[in-house]
Structure 1
Amino acid sequence: MTSPVQGSQPESLYPELDEAALAQYFAALTGDETAPLAPARAAEVAEARALVAPVPVRIPGAGQDLLDGVLWTHLTGDRARPAIVMPSPWTDLGWLAYAVQATRFAYSGYNVLAYTARGFGRSEGEVEVGGPLDIEDGSRALDFLIERTGGEPTRVGFLGDSYGSGISQLVAAHDHRVDAVVALSTWGDLGEAFYENTTRHTEAVRKLLAAAQNARLSKRTQQVFDDVLADRNVDETLQWAAERSPYTYVAALNSRQVPVFFAHAWHETLFPSNQTLRMFHALTGPKRINMSIGDHSGPEMTGIVGLPNRIWTDAHRWLGHHLQDDDNGIDTEGQVVSQIMWNKALESRPTWAAVTGSTQRLYLASPGATGDHTLADGPDTGWSLSIQTGADTPATVADEIILTGYDEMAGNPKVYPTAAISRADAGVWVTAPLPVTTGLRGVPRLRLTYTPSADRSTFVAHLFDVAPSGSAHIVTHAPFTRLDGEPGVAVTADIELQATGYDVPAGHRLMLVIDTRDPFYGDANAPRATLTLSSPAADPSHLELPLR
């Protein structure tokens, strides 16, 4: 088999993905040579070949652009079968990323069509980021599957990881034939993913561009990415993003009560979790979300290469229940399954609202015995603290998109030296040592008053778990930008930090750090400006924690 990768190697959103192993697997599946495979994998391929026939195909997509794909048909019996369509992730590997899982679905009784999204690999057309042509491609892929398998499937599922997950939701919203969706590491509101609290996710856009360096981006797609990086044409970008956001079409999914399964990472840096949770909240049909330690696509990666993986296991169960009437119990379990940092325990809750048992308000207060400001149980107003803009501090989201998440999954989360955070460039608030282990579950909220010395301003709030040694791990964060204020006039920011499932050990402290730069974001601060943080008596600044 020839790999679908062309040209030079781009940066990958899938650094742990073994392309050679996937290619060997597919070659063995379609040929006779299983020698390069491990014995267990060779046995799996031999068993699959008795029931599964994969055939490379060219699919007529929108505008007659041909899409590269593979059709897996289940060989036993002549009855109508359920079908699964799998649009590819954001990678030149295209459909090859699904070689193992598509085979396993086909072995379980489905006819499966996996295809490479337009503009990537050997598929024609240009990258549209879930635009109308991508939606039409999905429907035409389903048409093709029906034609090639000899009739209407009993039911239809769409499944995708990353880029393919957004396309899967969008196709389901527009094509009434889709009966269930699996969306792994996905987005709900693309505008919020690009502009969180009006703050540009510049590093995420750079990573997407680097991963697509061999792809053929449409002129409009390239312009949008360039505009985000150059801080221009925001309204036009948000309109473009709305058309590509499943949240825009949630009413269509709800009108048919389409079952949707999400899997997401707590520290997702491409599509932060809150915007996906917004989509999850809005769905009224059967739904489930698995939240895991790690970053984009990391938690499901071992399953892509065929190793045991609870997310892919649940994806099979979800489609099995909704497409094949399997009585596997997934419909009786909670809508939310969370893997807790850092003990990795799994918690199930009937709804997202049930994830948070109670809330605790901590007030941003005056300096305490440590010299830092304190997070106190009661309001402490009248203080102020000025910090300089323009300097980065060790309080950052992560060292690198995706890779830091793999370290977290391996049990080696990034360690932050809190003593090295410049107090001239950041405001720092800490609690007293916690008397018992404190479970944070849900979405923290920050309400902060500050006065900028310039008309544009940005801050980034980071919440840390600090050990007695002073070293810390990040719990969650969020940025905030004000673009149209008046210098010297107070601003009240009321923002959600990204959702979290985190146990803070007894004896540790919580630390809130407010600084003005982070490599992950584009900031709007003027050079040599200041932000004066405060807590007015009429509206004390505070942090609201969601507790287990």
Structure 2
Amino acid sequence: MTSNGQQPAAAVSLYPELDEAALAQVVEALRTGDTSRLAPARAAEVTEARKAATFLDGVGVPGDGGVELDAALWLHNGPGPHPLIVMPSPWAKQGWTVYAIQALRFARRGYHVLAYTARGFGESGGEVEVAGEADIADGIRALDYLIAQAGGPGAIGRIGFLGDSYGSGISQLVAAEDSRVHAVVALSTWGDLGEAFYENDTRHVAAVQTLLNAAKTARLSARTQQAFDDVLANRNVAETLRWAASRSPYHRVDKLNRRQVPVLFANAWHETLFPTNQTLKMFNALSGPKRLLLSVGDHSGPEMTGILGLPNRIWQDAHRWFDHHLLEAADEGSEAEAAAVFDADSGAEDQVVSEIMWSRTLESRPSWHAATGDPERFYLTGPAEGAQDGGLLDKPGNGWRTTFTTGTDTPATVADAILLTGYAELAGLPKTYRTGRIDRNDAGVWSSAPLPSRHQLRGVPRLRVTVAPSAPDSTFVAYLFDVNALGIARIITHAPYTVRDGDPDAPVTVDIALQATGYDVRAGHRLMLVLDSVDPFYGPAAQPPGAITVTSPDEDPSYLELPLS
């Protein structure tokens, strides 16, 4: 039972398509050399890995404060020095085994590798501290251990940290604090944990509950449990934000920048645990070599096939990143020279790689600025005569008011379920919405005319809107949809927003950054903006049922600004 008296839900996995049995078979084959239970290609891979590197599992790594961390070790057998990779585990009971196949591939390539289970999970000791100081110290101790096993500082090459999900945040934080780390790969990661938990003053309750459920078999510290319970109970917000700041790479970015640490990020457009914008903020704050891979799907979904050993462009890029910054850079002199060589080899256009919905086309651009379209405004207007919905037009149409009641959910939602809706997207089955079923009493709706040409959205859409909530604290969610001629929609992006400590029924103008997107809207389709007050993904402000009135003052019209390329 949680500290607020609620019964926790059943355990869930942040890796719903992970084949644990298949990974266990790979680990057993690495241990014993018996590959009879593996498919031929995997058997050959394991056999070659055993020739190239010595594998040890069940390794006890001394962590911070006497905690022992369960780990696996791959020591390359060829003449060195060899670069090192440390891989802190995801937020999962399976611990380091999630990395088994990719770690053996690094080992075959010429790396010494240590993959370990974060404290509080699986067979590791200690309690879960959510990338706290003990986790950072664990990462540093794990690196110390790997260096010692590899023959000491004089016998090793350059050093990288790689993590997926939970391990990605730990990897960035260790790199910020330990000057021995030369490069980082952070998959399905976070930059600002406070923003991930409280986006626009709105609690991400479904994300926090999912993290709690996924850690049901873990051992959470009292402080960790308190932080999660406080988000769910809507209390101690300032205290929780301070707790989150110390666990956020964004708040240590200056340390990474001083050493120009190369960092590769990968995230999904419809990420529901760590929304894209907070990672984008971290990416843009970095001044050293960096790359951002944005994909269709949800948390850890785009890289899942690679975890299972199948071809995967994200893991291929991770290998390439380390090969350039660890293997090849060892022969290039200074870190600045190594970065220059990498950029010359890869092309500066590779800094941002976006997988576009729904063509799945890959677009490479030299920077986030270059990847972002030019802003074009669609002004919110009142409904035409005889119509229910307002318009999205190229000129303001002021003097109108649209009011919807609060406290009732509508079919406009972020997704059907965290993770699972994103996995359906990966399979080419994005969630569809019947826009005619959105009750206009419970939502404000604005639609464009059918678009005369394809509109390519690239970047962060922004909404400036004047609202007058009937309660001092009031939450609403803005959704942007792509709607076909039959009224069937797909979600492009969204964002929640909470107005706090306002005067009831007093208008307030707010600016909302919707989550970044790479989306193509076909010619003949319409854009639809929906505002409603309830979404299962978010915790509303403490408010009685009431209403929100949307207006567009003459001196400051309401508009939706889309980045179009």
Query: In which range does the TM-score fall when normalised by the shorter chain?
Result: over 0.9
User: Identity rate of aligned residues, in percent?
Assistant: 64
Take 1:483 and 1:333, find their aligned partners in 2: how far apart are those partners? 42
Aligned to 2:353: 337
Question: What is the CA distance between 1:325 and its match in structure 2?
Answer: 1.4
- Using the TM superposition, give the Cα deviation of residue 76 of structure 1 relative to its aligned residue in structure 2, in angstroms: 1.3
- Aligned partner (choices 448, 459, 466) of residue 442 of structure 1: 459
Aligned with residue 506 of structure 1, among 508, 523, 530: 523
SS in 1 for 2:291: strand
SS of the aligned residue for 1:514 comes to: strand
1:293 aligns with 2:310: no
Number of aligned residues: 540
Task: Return the offset for 1:155.
Answer: 0.6
Kept in 2: contact 1:321–1:330 (CA 8 A): no
- Tell me: CA distance 1:525–1:506, structure 2 relative to 1, closer, same or farther (3 Å): farther
The residue aligned with 1:428 is 445
Determine which of 450, 457, 462 is the counterpart of 2:474. 457
Q: 1:257 aligns with which of 257, 260, 279?
A: 260
**CA positional deviation for 1:348:** 0.4
**Which of 270, 282, 288 does residue 285 from structure 2 map onto?**
282
Per-residue Cα deviation, 1:267-318 (whole angstroms, up to 9, x for no partner): 0000000000000000000000000000000000000010000000000000
Q: What is the SS of the residue equivalent to 1:487? A: coil
Shift in Å, 1:360: 0.6
Q: How does 1:137-286 map to 2 (within 5 A)?
A: 137-152=138-153, 153-286=156-289
Instruction: Work out the CA distance in 1 between the residues paired with 2:350 and 2:398.
Output: 42
Give, as a single letter, the amino acid of the residue that structure 1 aligns with 2:318: A
| Partner residue in 2 for 1:417 | 434
Structure 1 partner of 2:334: none
Amino acid at match of 1:468: A
- Give the equivalent residue in structure 1 for 2:333: none
Q: Does the aligned pair in 1 maintain the 2:460–2:517 contact within 8 Å?
A: yes
Cα deviations by residue, 1:391-417 (Å, 9 ceiling, x for unpaired):
000000000000000100110000001
In the TM superposition, residue 527 of structure 1 has moved relative to its aligned partner by 2.1
The 1-side partners of 2:482 and 2:115 are apart by 42
Q: Secondary structure at the residue paired with 1:281?
A: helix
Task: Give the Cα–Cα distance (whole angstroms) in 2 for the partners of residues 331 and 85 of structure 1.
Answer: 28
Q: Is this contact kept in 1: 2:127–2:219, CA < 8 A?
A: yes
Report the Cα distance in structure 2 between the residues aligned to 1:159 and 1:32, rounded to whole angstroms: 26
User: 395-404 or 479-488: which moved more?
Assistant: 479-488
> Relative to structure 1, is the Cα distance of residues 218 and 320 closer, same or farther in structure 2, using a 3 angstrom cutoff?
same
The two structures have a TM-score, normalised by structure 1, of 0.97
Letter in 2 for 1:92: K
Kindly indicate whether residue 62 of structure 2 is the aligned counterpart of residue 60 of structure 1. Answer: yes
* Amino acid aligned to 2:202: T
Task: State the alpha-carbon separation in 1 of the partners of residues 323 and 375 from structure 2.
Answer: 37
- In structure 2, the partner of 1:4 is none
Q: In 1, Cα distance between the equivalents of 2:375 and 2:500?
A: 31
The answer to whether the 8 A contact 1:388-1:529 is kept is: yes
Distance 1:385 1:9 in 2: 41
Which residue of structure 2 lines up, in the alignment, with residue 348 of structure 1? 364
Letter in 2 for 1:107: R
Measured after TM superposition, the shift of residue 331 of structure 1 is 5.8
- Cα deviation 1:428-481 (Å, max 9, x = unaligned): 000000011110000000001011111110110000000101000000000000
Opposite residue 18 of structure 2, the aligned amino acid is L
Aligned residue among 383, 405, 408 for 1:367: 383
In the aligned structure 1, how far is the partner of 2:10 from the partner of 2:431? Answer: 28
- Name 2:42's counterpart in structure 1: 41
Deviation at 1:501, TM superposition (A): 0.1
**Once the 2 structures are TM-superposed, how far is the Cα of residue 14 of structure 1 from its aligned partner?**
0.1
Aligned partner of 2:131 in structure 1 is: 130
- Check conservation: 1:318, 1:330, Cα contact below 8 A: no
Distance in 1 between residues matched to 2:509 and 2:218, nearest whole Å: 43
Conserved? CA contact 2:89–2:163, under 8 Å: yes
Q: Distance in 1 between matches of 2:440 and 2:232?
A: 29
Matches within 5 A, 1:531-546: 531-546=548-563
TM-aligned CA deviation for residue 10 of structure 1: 2.4
The answer to whether the 8 A contact 2:348-2:365 is kept is: no
CA distance in 2, matches of 1:129, 1:333: 35
1:5 alignment counterpart: none
- Structure 1 distance, partners of 2:361, 2:412, is 27
Distance between the aligned counterparts of 1:365 and 1:487, measured in 2? 24
Which stretch shifts more, 231-240 or 9-18? Answer: 9-18
Query: Structure 1, residues 145-166: CA drift from partner, whole Å, max 9, x if none?
Result: 0111111221100000000000
Measure, in 2, the Cα distance between the counterparts of 1:138 and 1:509.
Answer: 49
Contact 2:392–2:447, Cα closer than 8 Å, also in 1: yes
Q: Deviations over 1:510-547 (max 9, x none)?
A: 00000001000001152221111100011000000001
Confirm or deny: 8 A CA contact 1:184 1:262 kept in the other structure. yes
The offset of 1:32, in angstroms, is 2.7
Per-residue deviation, 1:9: 8.0
DSSP 3-state at the match of 2:350: coil
Structure 2 distance, partners of 1:445, 1:54, is 51
Compute the RMSD of aligned alpha carbons.
Answer: 1.2
Report if aligned partners of 1:389, 1:525 keep a CA contact under 8 Å in 2: no
Contact 2:271-2:297 within 8 A present in 1 as well: yes
Q: Is the 8 A contact 2:388 2:440 kept in 1?
A: no
* Offset at residue 35 of structure 1 (A): 1.3
Which consecutive residues of structure 2, in runs of 5 or more, have no partner in the other structure?
1-8, 330-340
1:71 counterpart = 2:77? no
Partners of 2:349 and 2:178 in 1: CA distance: 28
Cα distance in 1 for residues equivalent to 2:35 and 2:146? 28
Q: Which amino acid letter does the alignment assign opposite residue 272 of structure 2?
A: T
Unaligned runs of 5+ in 1: 1-7
* Aligned residue number for residue 11 of structure 1: 12
Which residue of 475, 481, 488 corresponds with 2:498? Answer: 481
2:410 equivalent to 1:393: yes
Q: Deviations over 1:161-220 (max 9, x none)?
A: 000000000000000000000000000000000000000000000000000000000000
Q: Which residue of structure 2 lines up, in the alignment, with residue 380 of structure 1?
A: 397
Question: Are the equivalent residues in 2 in contact too, given 1:261–1:315 (CA < 8 A)?
Answer: yes
